[in-house]
């Protein structure tokens, strides 16, 4: 009896959670795009072709279809410190060298997952 009463409440709560999370993530992805295009911050565009970005660089691979290629954790790890996976990489260690905060890295990854 108690269980059947709790179940719909739980479902409702979860639904409410996702309803709140989805716009928040979209908002974060917008922030992430700003960071990715900002010369002083993420500046991803300096090396990568990114949809919506003008005058991209050519050093890194085009950032597209990333959701299919990498898990969220992998993307966070790459942005945080790609030298761990590939010591020869040109990519700056955005997390390790505090170029971006944890929150900013999350926003950038939210954006990357939309590409």
Partner 1 sequence: MTARFAIRAAIATLTLGVLACTPARAADSIDPAADKAAFQKFFTNKFPKLKLEDFVNGPYSMNEDLHKQWEEKEQFPPYEFSLEAGKEMFSTPFKNGKTYADCFPNKGIGIRQNYPYFDEKEGKVVTLELALNRCREANGEAPFSYVKDDMAALTAYMAFTSRGKPMDIKIPNDPRALQAYQKGKEYFYTRRGQLNFSCATCHIQSPGERIRAEVLAPALGILNAMPIYRSEWSGMGTTSRRFTTCNSQIRGVPLNPQDDEYRDLEYYLSYVSNGLPISGPGARP
Residue 58 vs 71, nearer CB to partner 1: 58
According to the binding rule CB under 8 A, does residue 102 interact with partner 1? Answer: no
Name which of residues 33 to 62 contact partner 1 (CB under 8 A).
45-47, 55-59
86 part of the interface to partner 1, by CB under 8 A: no
- State the minimum distance, in angstroms, from the CB of residue 45 to partner 1: 7
Classify residue 18 as exposed, middle or buried by CB count within 10 Å of its CB (0-12, 13-18, 19+). Answer: exposed
Q: Does 95 engage in binding with partner 1 (CB under 8 A)? A: no
- CA-closest candidate to residue 95, choices 105, 87, 85: 105
Provide the binding-site residues for partner 1, judged by CB under 8 A: 45-47, 55-59, 83, 88, 90, 92-93, 97-99
């Amino acid at each position: 009896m108690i269980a059947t009463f709790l179940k719909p409440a739980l479902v409702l709560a979860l639904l409410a959670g996702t309803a709140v999370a989805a716009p928040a993530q979209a908002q974060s992805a917008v922030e992430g795009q700003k960071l990715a295009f900002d010369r002083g911050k993420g500046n991803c565009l300096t090396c990568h072709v990114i949809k919506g970005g003008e005058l991209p660089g050519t050093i890194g691979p085009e950032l597209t279809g990333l959701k299919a290629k990498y898990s969220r954790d992998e993307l966070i790890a790459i942005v945080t410190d790609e030298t761990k996976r590939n010591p020869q990489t040109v990519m700056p260690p955005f997390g390790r060298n505090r170029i971006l905060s944890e929150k900013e890295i999350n926003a950038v990854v939210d954006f990357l997952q939309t590409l």
